[in-house]
């Protein structure tokens, strides 16, 4: 598969600030400083950037699909201004009790990404701030990377955190590492 370079990103807590009340409107979607520019650096280095995000607020009735689309429009437009792009957004709208295959830590979204891009996810960097992001990545052989932003600080002290997962301050630091730039 001619070596397509792929990176998988969680959304809330990695690209934008997270909220315990969910991100329910475009106004509530606020990028973490440096994250938008970091995605642009990936885009310009030839990476396909894909977002995989649990959005159970839909299943809970807190917001509708058109709102999620509007939030993602804002993300795409914000990226376009600095020459970045997200090639696809995969989301799970279900709640814990739906017992779906797509809600992380289950790897359903990752398998969809592999199918859509006809890609082997072995070793593909997958950046998240929660344990379930890392577990979904591990399940498909991707390379889990933890950021301290979002819920990352809590995840760091979770006794279930697998050993040996690299930890970075934020997405900007991850991208500097991936692109081999000085930190």
Residues acting as catalytic residues: 10, 12
Measured CA to CA in angstroms, residue 2 lies from 44, 49, 119, 120, 178 at distances of 18, 17, 10, 11, 19
Quickly count: other Cβ atoms within 10 Å of residue 57's Cβ.
19
- Rounded to whole angstroms, how far apart are CA atoms 153 and 64? 30
**Could you give the count of Cα atoms lying within 13 Å of 147 in the half-sphere of its Cβ?**
28
**Among 18, 22, 24, which Cα is nearest to 63's?**
24
Coil, strand or helix: which one is 141? coil
């Amino acid at each position: 598969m001619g070596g397509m370079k792929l990176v998988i990103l969680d959304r809330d807590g990695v690209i934008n600030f997270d909220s315990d009340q969910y991100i329910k409107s475009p106004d509530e979607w606020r990028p973490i400083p440096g994250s938008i520019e970091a995605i642009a650096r990936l885009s310009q280095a030839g990476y396909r950037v894909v977002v995989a995000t649990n959005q159970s607020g839909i299943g809970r009735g807190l917001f509708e699909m058109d709102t999620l689309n509007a939030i993602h429009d804002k993300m795409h437009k914000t990226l376009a201004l600095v020459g970045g792009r997200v090639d696809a957004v995969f989301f799970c709208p279900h709640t814990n009790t739906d017992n779906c295959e797509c809600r992380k830590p289950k790897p359903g979204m990752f398998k969809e990404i592999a199918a859509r891009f006809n890609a082997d996810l072995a070793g593909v960097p997958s950046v998240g701030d929660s344990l379930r992001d890392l577990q979904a990545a591990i399940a498909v052989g991707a390379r889990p990377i933890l950021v301290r932003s979002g819920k990352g600080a809590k995840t760091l002290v979770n006794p279930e955190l697998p050993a040996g997962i690299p930890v970075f301050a934020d997405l900007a630091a991850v991208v500097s590492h991936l692109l081999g730039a000085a930190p």
